[in-house]
């Protein structure tokens, strides 16, 4: 895993070397093991390297005068591509070099031959163009801006800001999305003028401007296939074991995050089957706040699989001390409280000498695990409803206006993903894969792990696994009011100790309870922030935080958390104030 950035000028002049160096410096945490770059014609590219595969000769850029590549990610089928291109004279053993040869053969459509997670930049001097590509699920991020200095791209927006190429100016429409959804949707980010390369997209640049775009879909639009249960299990087994196997390709030590739930337990079952040494399994939990702590069950599952178990505590003290630092890692904001334990898990993996972590992210989306999927399958008369009908602040009377456009991005995805061949369940899964997955869950994993120089891998988000999962009949996904039914069946066969058919409370983080411990004082500080006063009435904000000291109404804790997160995020990423000290210190530093 790495960081990439670049500048492409329309006038053909060499890009500014100081600006390129500043972007590389800003991305050093993503690639602490080395750096490289090139300046050729109107193109400048930089790369910071986290060495995972080909530790000796895998430095980037890779290539020659005709074309060169830099990449952030892993190409899992690089061995198979090398065999397919048997006549090619490879210069390295890197998993990224085959992409350059596929590009030479297939042009801008080269990424269709890649199986992996990636954001890639190819400087094609022969055709005087630059090609940017992102993997179909959007596992790896890539951002761009069209500026007076040229077309600028980077793995993280903050690299553009620190190089002085773009100013972090707030996009109010995306702020509204963040507050109501916890994440933002689509191409536009929360910063004016900073955009995302979309999942599966390839952008071809000519003379410093976008010439054309291609898009590779992650999911099929075909109707479910009427497989029998036995055939579906066999197809799932073959695809999933193969995916975990290739996701373990690494020249450095790796481990996994284990929640004790179905998804991560399934990953562990495969890893235990494929590895001779015990799997290193890390589990986070909380002992206060009255929430479920799944560490005991996770330890039971880990021991049954022969894994080495590493419990990680995230407590109230961590909340107050680490939150500003964690928010500082999210230039593209995600107000999902799961960032808290994930960040500390990333630190624990690094402390144990691991550079690669496998995760169960994507299992719910692929196999229909969320309750919202079951609700969308029911008629309204029996409790059915559309996904994300209500925003977090709807009906609470806290905001100055109702933010009427907060759902427009979701509506775009719903319209785009509604094919007559798909069932309602398939459409709901596709909508989540379009925005929720890349812009919340995967962004969370990327920033929390890369902050510690650790790579996160997601074997559920693999084309072979997706090809089975999305084609399953609805009855093999949801049965007897329970989601992920076929995956549960598979896990019950391969790791019975996981008790896959038991209903579990699941891991949560008691942010509302912790905020309530300092509710009145914290509410005063949050309400006084200019970023909060702009969108909410100070008296209602203070009342909201005070309510958490007692029996707050449902939703109050989530709303207070979102306001606290946004206040801290805005101070750092828009206001430019470093996240020094704990939560109270950051909010009460005398610069309101």
d(CA 386, CA 87): 53
pLDDT (0 to 100) of residue 209 = 94
pLDDT (0 to 100) of residue 204 = 98
Contact yes or no for 166/157 (Cβ under 8 A): yes
Task: List, for residues 11-65, the tens digit of each pLDDT value.
Answer: 999 999 999 999 999 999 999 999 999 999 999 999 998 888 767 777 899 998 8
pLDDT (0 to 100) of residue 197 = 98
Is the confidence at residue 114, as pLDDT, over 90?
yes
Which whole number is the average pLDDT over 432-453?
Answer: 97
Is the confidence at residue 141, as pLDDT, over 90?
yes
Could you give the domains of the chain? Answer: 2-215 (3.60.20.10), 229-379+422-498 (3.40.50.620), 511-587 (no CATH)
The gap from C-alpha 421 to its chain's centroid, in whole angstroms, comes to: 29
d(CA 219, CA 236): 16
Which whole number is the average pLDDT over 339-357?
Answer: 97
Task: List, for residues 355-383, the tens digit of each pLDDT value.
Answer: 999 999 999 999 999 999 999 988 776 66
Q: Give the least confident one: 305-314, 411-420, 500-509.
A: 500-509
pLDDT (0 to 100) of residue 506 = 65
Strand partners, 43: 8, 40
Which whole number is the average pLDDT over 530-553?
Answer: 92
**121 phi, psi to nearest 5 deg:** -125, 125
pLDDT (0 to 100) of residue 554 = 72
Q: Of 440, 265, 293, 505, which is closest to residue 363 (Cα–Cα)?
A: 265
d(CA 333, CA 356): 24
d(CA 340, CA 361): 16
Q: Which burial class, exposed, middle or buried, applies to 415 when counting CB atoms under 10 A from its CB (0-12, 13-18, 19+)?
A: exposed
Which distant-in-sequence residues (6+ apart) come within 8 Å of 483 by Cβ?
A: 364, 367, 368, 369, 370, 371, 373, 374, 477
**CA angle (86, 91, 94) in 5-degree steps:** 85
From residue 397, give the alpha-carbon distance in Å to each of 336, 405, 536: 22, 17, 9
Tell me, what DSSP letter sits at residue 169?
Answer: -
319-322 long-range CB contacts below 8 Å, 24 or more apart?
319/511, 319/514, 319/583, 320/514, 320/582, 320/583, 320/584, 321/582
Better-scored residue on pLDDT, 397 or 1: 397
Give the global pTM.
0.96
Task: List, for residues 172-197, the tens digit of each pLDDT value.
Answer: 999 999 999 999 999 999 999 999 99
**CA angle (262, 340, 592) in 5-degree steps:** 155
Is the confidence at residue 519, as pLDDT, over 50?
yes
pLDDT (0 to 100) of residue 592 = 42
Q: Which burial class, exposed, middle or buried, applies to 497 when counting CB atoms under 10 A from its CB (0-12, 13-18, 19+)?
A: middle
Better-scored residue on pLDDT, 28 or 288: 28
Contact yes or no for 29/156 (Cβ under 8 A): no
In 334-434 the beta strands, taken as DSSP E runs, fall at: 356-358
């Amino acid at each position: 895993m790495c960081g990439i950035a670049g500048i492409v000028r329309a006038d053909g002049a060499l890009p500014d070397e100081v600006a390129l160096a500043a972007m590389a410096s800003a991305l050093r945490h993503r690639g602490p093991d080395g750096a490289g770059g090139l300046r050729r014609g109107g193109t400048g590219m930089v790369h910071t390297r986290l060495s995972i595969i080909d530790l000796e000769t895998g430095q980037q850029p890779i290539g020659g005068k005709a074309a060169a590549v830099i990449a952030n990610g892993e190409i899992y089928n690089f061995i198979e591509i090398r065999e397919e291109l048997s006549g090619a004279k490879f210069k390295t053993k890197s998993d990224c070099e085959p992409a350059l040869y596929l590009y030479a053969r297939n042009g801008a459509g080269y990424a269709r031959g890649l199986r992996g997670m990636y954001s890639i930049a190819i400087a094609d001097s022969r055709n005087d163009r630059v090609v940017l590509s992102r993997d179909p699920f959007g596992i790896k991020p890539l951002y761009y801006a069209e500026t007076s200095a040229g077309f600028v791209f980077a793995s993280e927006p903050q690299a553009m800001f620190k190089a002085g190429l773009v100013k972090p100016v707030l996009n109010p429409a995306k702020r509204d999305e963040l507050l109501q959804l916890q994440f933002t949707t689509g191409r536009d980010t929360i910063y004016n003028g900073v955009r995302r390369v979309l999942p599966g997209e390839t952008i071809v640049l000519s003379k410093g401007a976008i010439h054309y775009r291609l898009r590779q879909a992650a999911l099929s639009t075909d109707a479910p296939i009427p497989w029998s249960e036995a055939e579906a299990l066999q197809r799932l087994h073959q695809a999933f074991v193969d995916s975990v196997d290739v996701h373990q390709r690494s020249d450095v030590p790796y481990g996994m995050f284990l929640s004790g739930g179905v998804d991560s337990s399934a990953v562990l079952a495969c890893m235990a089957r494929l590895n001779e040494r015990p799997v290193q399994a890390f589990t986070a939990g909380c002992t206060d706040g009255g929430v479920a702590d799944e560490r005991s069950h996770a330890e039971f599952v880990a021991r049954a699989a022969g894994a080495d178990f590493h419990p990680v505590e995230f407590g109230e003290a961590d909340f107050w001390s680490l939150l500003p630092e964690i928010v500082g890692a999210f230039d593209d904001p995600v107000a999902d409280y799961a960032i808290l334990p994930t960040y500390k898990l990333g630190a624990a993996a690094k402390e144990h000498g691991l550079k690669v972590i496998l995760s169960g992210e994507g299992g719910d989306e692929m196999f229909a695990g969320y309750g919202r999927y079951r609700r969308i399958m029911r008629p309204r008369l029996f409790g059915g409803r559309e996904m994300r009908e209500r925003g977090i602040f709807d009906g609470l009377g806290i905001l100055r206006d109702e933010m009427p456009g907060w759902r427009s991005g979701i509506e775009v995805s719903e319209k785009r993903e509604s094919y007559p061949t798909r069932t309602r369940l398939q459409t709901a899964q596709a909508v989540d894969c379009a925005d929720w997955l890349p812009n919340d869950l995967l962004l969370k994993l990327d920033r929390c792990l890369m902050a510690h120089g650790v790579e996160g891998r997601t074997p559920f988000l693999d084309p072979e696994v997706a090809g089975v999962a999305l084609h399953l009949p609805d009855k093999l996904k949801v049965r007897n009011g329970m989601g992920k039914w076929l995956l549960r069946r598979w896990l019950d066969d391969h790791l019975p100790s996981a008790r896959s058919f038991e209903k579990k409370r699941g891991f949560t983080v008691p942010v509302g309870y912790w905020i309530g411990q300092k509710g009145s004082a914290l509410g005063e500080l949050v309400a006084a922030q200019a970023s909060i006063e702009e969108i909410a009435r100070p008296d209602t904000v203070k009342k909201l935080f005070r309510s958490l000291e007692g029996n707050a109404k449902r939703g109050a804790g989530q709303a207070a958390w979102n306001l606290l997160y946004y206040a801290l995020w805005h101070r750092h990423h828009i206001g430019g104030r470093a996240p020094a000290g704990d939560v109270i210190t950051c909010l009460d530093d005398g610069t309101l």
